[in-house]
Amino acid sequence: DGTLNKLCHLRDYVDDTEDYINMMLDEKQNQLLQMGVMLTTATVVITAGIVVVSLFGMNIHIELTLDPETPEMARIKNRKFWETTWATVAGCAAIYILAIYAGKKSKYLQ
């Protein structure tokens, strides 16, 4: 009877240990999935920036792409280029922050 009782306790201990290990593995898997969601979100946001860059890379005729005739026009063109660049970077960063905030608010991310 005593040996059977010890074996039952040992089996319960092994089951509890197995459950604990499975919970730890599930937690690590959830962390990896969350990292995957964050990286995928970053990829989507960077793609939005690439769309803006590709629009300016096309051979379309807009005021920003015209050849400057004077040094003043060159400065204006250079300023507009940097304004567009920084606005695109800031827009992408803002979209990424909003997406992560929305994910955390909806409890998809911790």
The answer, yes or no, to whether residue 4 has pLDDT greater than 80, is: yes
The pTM (predicted TM-score) of the whole model is 0.65
| pLDDT at res. 7 | 93
Q: DSSP assignment, residue 79?
A: H
Task: List the domain range (segments joined by +) for residue 73.
Answer: 1-108
pLDDT above 70 covers a percentage of the chain that reads 89
Q: 58: buried, middle or exposed (CB in 10 Å: 19+, 13-18, 0-12)?
A: exposed
> Which among 48, 61, 60, 57 has a CA at the least distance from the CA of 87?
48
Tens of pLDDT, residues 38-86: 999 999 999 988 988 887 777 666 666 566 677 777 777 778 888 888 9
Secondary structure, 3-state, 5-72? HHHHHHHHHHHHHHHHHHHHHHHHHHHHHHHHHHHHHHHHHHHHHHHHHHHHHCCCCCHHHCCCCCHH
The answer, yes or no, to whether residue 90 has pLDDT greater than 70, is: yes
Number of domains in the chain: 1
pLDDT above 90 covers a percentage of the chain that reads 47
The rounded mean pLDDT for the chain is: 86
